[in-house]
Chain A
Amino acid sequence: MENKTLSLDDQFQERIDRGENIEAKDWMPEKYRKTHIRQISQHGHSEIIGMLPEGNWISRAPSLRRKVALLAKVQDEAGHGLYLYSAAETLGISRDELMEQLNSGKAKYSSIFNYPTVSWADMGAVGWLVDGAAIINQVMLTKTSYGPYARAMVRICKEESFHQRQGYEIMLSLCNGAGVQKAMAQDALNRWWWPSIMMFGPRDEESPNTEQSMKWKIKKKTNDELRQQFVDQTVPQAEILGLSIPDKDLKWNEERGHYDFGIIDWEEFWNVVKGNGLMNEKRLKDRNAAWDEGQWVRNAALAYSEKQVERKAKKIA
């Protein structure tokens, strides 16, 4: 008995090592399934909650051009949430369960969305930095071993690059504008920089799941590798804007071929993860209100479709 289980696990690992994708109906270790349900649903929840801080600015966008762009971006994020929920559902969790986990606060989502978006420049910083960081993670995930997750990522990555570009363009306009506008951009960068580099999660030594995730090819790079990649690509972008990154220890390391950067305030990170961020409560409250207020629509649509089926049956009879 014991031996048989072991060999199934080994066979599974061999498939992964050969670079095969795992599909929904394939045998998989229970832990692989559970880890994926957790990770994919957290990812989906982040897309859904991520609409809130930006949705906040749609009606106050400074021009029609900015408004249609932001609206399209937020709509994309809803789509991303749906792709991911669909992928999670292939593993045997229902949409209602997923919603319940999010709305009850049981499920996590990216802590970055528990920071407030207080000025228009934040729409620039979020698109540039938050979507930028998400893209790095998501590009890696297009090669993840679970087929439905990988395919969702391919679709998402195609859509993300406009998100980052529209954010950067907002920053660029502000930085080329009046002094107060540039100051707004700098202020946004000051507030979003550290939370953005925290998005990649705890340091490798404090990330106990990394090893298993790498073995199963859920992740192909560690948190610290991804974070370094983000810093390296973002510093020159900040230079083009003429903004300074709020880290006095940030400097190019010739030997490593990478930027060195300062120590992250992990206490703040864990504090927000635990639910004590500025916006944790508000985000969940808004999410629950949206769900509750939509309930009658979902019920009515279902009642309508049931009635149509009945009518059709009567006509035939």
Chain B
Amino acid sequence: MNKEWPIWEVFIRSKNGLEHRHCGSLHAADAEMAIQNARDVYTRRQEGVSVWVVESKNITASNPTKNGEMFEPAADKVYRHPTFYVLPDEIKHM
């Protein structure tokens, strides 16, 4: 029986001090091979110093059709931003 290799999502840290970022996906038989393949596919020009892989099926994603109830509540909470607070111009370093 010929079975397809599972899909893995690849995250790369481009240099220390920066976060890992999703950069794409690939197929691999297991985690170790996924790391090797990620190296060959996504870091051929020193694009990374660290690689994370996770099998795609293990990712739970929010549902874009529910974006309203998910993200809109933050829209009217302007008091979470510094510009909401009115201070005199003489105040420095704040």
Contacts and interface: CB of A to CB of B under 8 A. Distances in A.
A308 B30 CA distance: 9
A32 interface: no
Interface residues of B, number: 21
A261 interface: no
Contacts of B30: 301, 304-305, 308
A23 interface: yes
Interface stretch (A59-67, A88-96, A103-111, A196-204): A88-96
Nearest to A23: B64
B7 A82 contact: no
Interface residues of A, number: 27
A103 to B, nearest CB: 13
B63 to A, nearest CB: 7
B44 A83 contact: no
Given A89-B7, A298-B2, A302-B5, A95 B27 contact: yes
Given A86-B26, A89-B25, A94 B4 contact: yes
28 contacts: A25-B64, A26-B64, A27-B65, A72-B44, A79-B40, A79-B41, A82-B26, A82-B41, A86-B25, A86-B26, A94-B4, A95-B4, A96-B4, A151-B24, A152-B24, A155-B23, A155-B24, A159-B45, A298-B2, A299-B2, A299-B3, A301-B30, A301-B33, A302-B5, A302-B29, A305-B30, A305-B33, A308-B30
